[in-house]
Amino acid sequence: MKIHAHPLDPITAAEITRAASILREHVRGSKVHFKVVDLIEAPKALVLAWVDGRVKTVDRKARVYYHVEGSQHLGKAQVNITQGRVESAVLLPDAQGPVDYLEWEKVHEACNTHPMVLEEVSKLNLPAEAKVVNDPWSYGTDDAKERRRLFQCYMYIVLNDDPEANHYSIPAPFAPVFDAHTLELLWIDRLPLGVGAEIDETQPWEPVAPVEYSASILGGEYFRKDLKPLLVEQPNGPSFQVQGRNVSWQKWNFQLGWNVREGPVLHNVSYDGRSLFYRVSMSEMTVPYGDPRTPFHRKQAFDLGDSGFGLTSNTLTLGCDCLGHIRYFDGYRTSGDGTPVLMANVVCMHEVDQGIGWKHTNFRNGRSSVVRDRQLVVQCTATVANYEYILAFILDQAANLHVEVKATGIVSTMPVAKGVQTPWGSVVAPGVMAVNHQHLFNVRVDPALDGHKNSIIHEDCVPVASDPDLDPFGCAFTVEGTTITKAGGYDLDVAASRTFKIINPNVINSVSGKSVGYKLHAVPSQMMMMGRHTFNYKRGIFASKPIWVTKYRDDELWAAGEFTNQSREDTGLAIWANRDDNVENEDVVLWYTFGVTHVTRPEDFPIMPCEKMSVTLKPSHFFELNPSNDVPRSSQQANRSTLDEGMDAPLPAATKDETASGQKCCVSVPRL
């Protein structure tokens, strides 16, 4: 069995096999359906002891979600792979595990073949070549007593054999609901086609041309012809080094974790040998839809907890997703029978040039110094049925860490009657409506700035109350710092340019005399709109405030709690941030909720141009000067740019004094 190099390495194929057999052993006789077999990260104290060399080995443990045949209760076990025993195994009658591919396939099949569904389909009078497919959706809670495992199957019509035919452009007007355990059809919802919830008998389909994105359907003539190739060349290879899952790049070092729920995770992040963060991860996301018409009110996905950014990650292909010199990383998931499944190339890592990093020109002589903004991008693409999320952790040379999400893919579509406009969304294609919705993400930052005792403060920029002596002209403003002492949820304040900052109150910057820190460059966004009495809100309380602060506890990783599928309440931050924990100069965790309210537009169809959201962790009094002051200066010698013809004026010649360090080619024409 492969020896893992680090206690936080992702689970291996052999470990999945072993964990599964240990559990099978434990349950005896009865057949087990495995949903998740993934790493349980060792307690922080133990990992740090291992890192310090105080302990030599750390047991590897697996979290196993499963069902035993006949039972409808979710099983959850903690399996000690190293010791070969089950440490705990419980049945959870009130929880639903995430979707797994096997059950998804069974529900999909059951829906596609059920006589009553076929009868409904037949009412559409589809042409002979037409096929019908369905996307089983997890079932947004609308009844606190519901304990069945439900899927609502949204159905679409496919008119073309092309593997990329866009069935989302032809939504069928009904949605069967299945029990995933019994595979019974419980009922068929007919979809409202007007403003209100009224429904009608299924009518024959009125032929309409789908809006396609498939290059082979569209044909060569469709495409613009004037885009010239742009290549990224790295003749000496990349600037990063990788050992196992340990990555070094430009003074950064981190351990690249991965799991089926979160996808890529950064552990033990340091810069220039100084500790920054113990763990940085995408923690959860919820997508409530604003359409009240049954059954659309049930659409509220938790795309990490219900399915998983790792589990749904694309196998990336060289040259399609990134330019330049690409490194790929794999992951493993379990199949239903407990055998490991390789998920090849689910994470890619490469460098990009992000334009000018900094520049100054001495106007007295025209001499310029410029550095480029080179970045390291660790990225995955999660495909959650119709929709894509591109998650990236981006490091730069100025010691900034960016967490970026791009929302793309195909908006969730439903049928709409011809000529009807509803208040719930936009018509994005003939007969197709895309409902307005919110994407509310939560990023979890477990800081370790020069150590594990940190504090969170917020700083407001406020005018000085008028004081004729101190401030005769009224221009003064100050920065008011407030240390957060109790766990809880906190608000941003644009009017005060409020900034939340992680500091280590025990370490002082020798230049500025202030505590070393990193600030969160938050982008204020609208929080969840649904009211406190709604299931949407109760299930996703993490999405009701942008900033959350908790005292660290092992296993508290996911903002909405462990089990979000058909959940009735938020069992994460709603609980953890409500403890009366002191968080000042403690092992503290900062959680940031951000997102976008997506008012749909035809321009989002068939595939939506990326909507980019990003948050930056930026050093603030952590370093004594610009950390990128030592980046070699940008020079033509290194960059080999080419000059476009038709110049209006000759270029100033580059000077010759090029040093090993920053070849200084940059001379402007003195202006004086």
Catalytic residue numbers read 303, 387
- Report the site for a copy of itself in 531-570 (rule: CB under 8 A): 531, 533-536
Residue 183 sits in the site that holds a copy of itself (CB under 8 A): no
Task: From 42-50, 60-68, 81-89, 326-334, give the range in contact with a copy of itself by CB under 8 A.
Answer: 326-334
Smallest distance from a copy of itself to CB 46, Å: 26
Cα separation values, 335 from 87, 102, 311, 478, 653, Å: 22, 7, 11, 58, 63
Q: Which of 60, 372, 444, 551 binds a copy of itself (CB under 8 A)?
A: 372
What is the C-alpha to C-alpha distance for residues 603 and 609, in angstroms, rounded to an integer?
Answer: 8
What is the C-alpha to C-alpha distance for residues 613 and 6, in angstroms, rounded to an integer?
Answer: 32
Residue 71 sits in the site that holds a copy of itself (CB under 8 A): no
Smallest distance from a copy of itself to CB 555, Å: 27
Identify the CA nearest to 74 among candidates 151, 168, 147, 177: 147
Residue 363 sits in the site that holds a copy of itself (CB under 8 A): yes
10 Å CB burial of residue 47 (0-12, 13-18, 19+) is buried
Task: From 66-74, 77-85, 179-187, 653-661, give the range in contact with a copy of itself by CB under 8 A.
Answer: 653-661
Shorter beta-carbon distance to a copy of itself: residue 135 or 581: 135
Shorter beta-carbon distance to a copy of itself: residue 339 or 661: 661
Residue 33 sits in the site that holds a copy of itself (CB under 8 A): no
Residue 56 sits in the site that holds a copy of itself (CB under 8 A): no
For residue 376, report the phi and psi dihedrals to the nearest 5 degrees: -110, 125
Residue 9 sits in the site that holds a copy of itself (CB under 8 A): no
What is the C-alpha to C-alpha distance for residues 368 and 662, in angstroms, rounded to an integer?
Answer: 11
Shorter beta-carbon distance to a copy of itself: residue 45 or 232: 232
Residue 3 sits in the site that holds a copy of itself (CB under 8 A): no
Q: Which of 202, 454, 499, 566 binds a copy of itself (CB under 8 A)?
A: 499
Residue 634 sits in the site that holds a copy of itself (CB under 8 A): yes
Shorter beta-carbon distance to a copy of itself: residue 283 or 345: 345
Q: Which of 53, 56, 648, 656 binds a copy of itself (CB under 8 A)?
A: 648
Peptide bond into 288 cis (omega under 30): no
Residue 208 sits in the site that holds a copy of itself (CB under 8 A): no
Q: What DSSP designation does 381 have? A: E
Q: Which of 84, 127, 207, 652 binds a copy of itself (CB under 8 A)?
A: 652
Q: Which of 152, 334, 455, 620 binds a copy of itself (CB under 8 A)?
A: 620
Tokens of 156: 């679409």
Q: Which of 211, 417, 575, 613 binds a copy of itself (CB under 8 A)?
A: 211
Shorter beta-carbon distance to a copy of itself: residue 140 or 447: 140
Identify the CA nearest to 376 among candidates 358, 349, 405, 356: 349
Residue 206 sits in the site that holds a copy of itself (CB under 8 A): no
Residue 337 sits in the site that holds a copy of itself (CB under 8 A): no
- Report the site for a copy of itself in 342-361 (rule: CB under 8 A): 342-345, 349, 351-353, 355-361
Q: Which of 529, 568, 569, 575 binds a copy of itself (CB under 8 A)?
A: 529
Long-range contacts (CB closer than 8 Å, 24 or more residues apart) made by 130-133 = 130/157, 130/158, 130/159, 131/157, 131/158, 132/156, 132/157, 132/158, 132/172, 133/158, 133/167
Smallest distance from a copy of itself to CB 637, Å: 8
Non-local (6+) Cβ contacts of 226 within 8 A are none
What is the C-alpha to C-alpha distance for residues 289 and 639, in angstroms, rounded to an integer?
Answer: 47
Residue 133 sits in the site that holds a copy of itself (CB under 8 A): yes
Identify the CA nearest to 96 among candidates 500, 568, 558: 568
Residue 219 sits in the site that holds a copy of itself (CB under 8 A): yes
What is the C-alpha to C-alpha distance for residues 277 and 266, in angstroms, rounded to an integer?
Answer: 8
Q: Which of 44, 190, 274, 325 binds a copy of itself (CB under 8 A)?
A: 325
Q: Which of 9, 291, 306, 562 binds a copy of itself (CB under 8 A)?
A: 291
Residue 525 sits in the site that holds a copy of itself (CB under 8 A): yes
Tokens of 322: 């990134």
Peptide bond into 295 cis (omega under 30): yes
Identify the CA nearest to 194 among candidates 483, 506, 441, 420: 420
- Report the site for a copy of itself in 396-455 (rule: CB under 8 A): 398-400, 406, 408-410, 421, 423-424, 426-430, 436
Smallest distance from a copy of itself to CB 87, Å: 29
Q: By rule CB under 8 A, what count of residues binds a copy of itself? A: 213
Question: H-helix or E-strand containing 596?
Answer: strand 588-598
What is the C-alpha to C-alpha distance for residues 610 and 603, in angstroms, rounded to an integer?
Answer: 11
Question: H-helix or E-strand containing 23?
Answer: helix 13-27
Smallest distance from a copy of itself to CB 346, Å: 10
Amino acid at 342: L
Task: From 147-155, 261-269, 492-500, 551-559, give the range in contact with a copy of itself by CB under 8 A.
Answer: 492-500
Q: Assess contact for 427 and 605: CB atoms under 8 A.
A: no
Residue 129 sits in the site that holds a copy of itself (CB under 8 A): no
Cα separation values, 93 from 71, 321, 505, 540, 559, Å: 10, 42, 45, 21, 22
Q: Which of 93, 127, 194, 472 binds a copy of itself (CB under 8 A)?
A: 472
Torsional sign, CA 619, 625, 630, 636: positive
Residue 279 sits in the site that holds a copy of itself (CB under 8 A): no
Smallest distance from a copy of itself to CB 37, Å: 16
Shorter beta-carbon distance to a copy of itself: residue 81 or 158: 158
- Report the site for a copy of itself in 185-204 (rule: CB under 8 A): 196-197
What is the C-alpha to C-alpha distance for residues 41 and 431, in angstroms, rounded to an integer?
Answer: 48
Residue 233 sits in the site that holds a copy of itself (CB under 8 A): yes
Q: Which of 514, 554, 555, 578 binds a copy of itself (CB under 8 A)?
A: 514
What is the C-alpha to C-alpha distance for residues 515 and 449, in angstroms, rounded to an integer?
Answer: 10
